[in-house]
Amino acid sequence: MNRRRYLLASLTWLSVRPAARAADPLIGRPAPEWQLAHWQNSGPLSLKQLRGKAVLVRWWTAPNCELCRTTAPALNEFHTEFGGRGLQVVGVYHHKVRTPLDPAQVAGHAAELGFKFPVAVDLDWQTLRHWWLDGHERAFTSVSFLLDRRGVIRHIHPGGQFLKGDADYAAIRAKVIEVLAEP
């Protein structure tokens, strides 16, 4: 994305308050099963296998996505702090560069970002399109979804970054705590 378009998308996204973003019609719907490949830090996972856990799914890209890089510490923190309480963080890489996809490079980027949680590749953005893009105008593709223990979408962070100390981080953290407190 060129710098001007990135700035415009960022300003558009920042103008939408977290409460307004929470009203997305996808909230409250079951997440569709994903089609992901090249799993790292775990074997292949399905949403069905993850029932009973809260799941925080973050689409990310590398190496040039500064927003993904600045969000990585929050994802690592959520994994460390809440993993033992029933949260499964899953990173989903979507390839945005013109060079051919190399799963070994994805693994290298995930390691560089400190990801110890499962990471998979969304080939041809198949799941990203199904979950987020099809039929919608979206400012970002690095979206995050929080699913409850039944696989229902409970929170969406529509892209950009979230980092400790900002309102989006606080909103996601509060929603994670709320979902983990549910039976």
User: What pLDDT digit, counting tens, does each position of 84-130 carry?
Assistant: 999 999 999 999 999 999 999 999 999 999 999 999 999 999 999 99
Sequence-ordered list of residues with C-beta below 8 angstroms from that of 113, at least 6 positions apart, any chain: 60, 62, 68, 69, 72, 76
Residues 6+ apart with CB under 8 A from 2: none
Return the SS3 of 108. Answer: helix
Domain count, the chain: 1
Distances (CA, A) of 17 to 12, 13, 51, 168: 10, 8, 31, 9
Dihedral angle sign, alpha carbons of residues 26, 32, 37, 40: positive
* 12, part of any domain: no
In a domain, residue 163? The reply is yes
Residue 21 counted as domain residue: no
Place of tokens 């892209």: 159
Residue 150 belongs to domain with CATH number: 3.40.30.10
User: Which tens digits make up the pLDDT trace of 153-163?
Assistant: 999 999 999 99
Instruction: For residue 117, tell me if it sits in a domain.
Output: yes
Give the span between the Cα atoms of 47 and 102, in whole angstroms.
Answer: 25
Tokens of 70: 């600045």
> Which secondary structure element, helix H or strand E, spans residue 170, and what is its range?
helix 167-181
* Domain membership flag for residue 103: yes
Decide if 20 is inside a domain: no
DSSP helix/strand/coil, 134: coil
3-state secondary structure of 2: coil
List the domain range (segments joined by +) for residue 81. 29-181
pLDDT digits (tens, 9 = 90+) for 32-84: 999 999 999 999 999 999 999 999 999 999 988 999 999 999 999 999 999 99
Residue 136 has a pLDDT of 84
Q: Determine the pLDDT at residue 135.
A: 83
User: Looking at the domain assignment, is residue 5 inside a domain?
Assistant: no
Q: What is the DSSP letter of 59?
A: E
pTM of full prediction above 0.85: yes
Residue 7, domain member (yes or no)? no
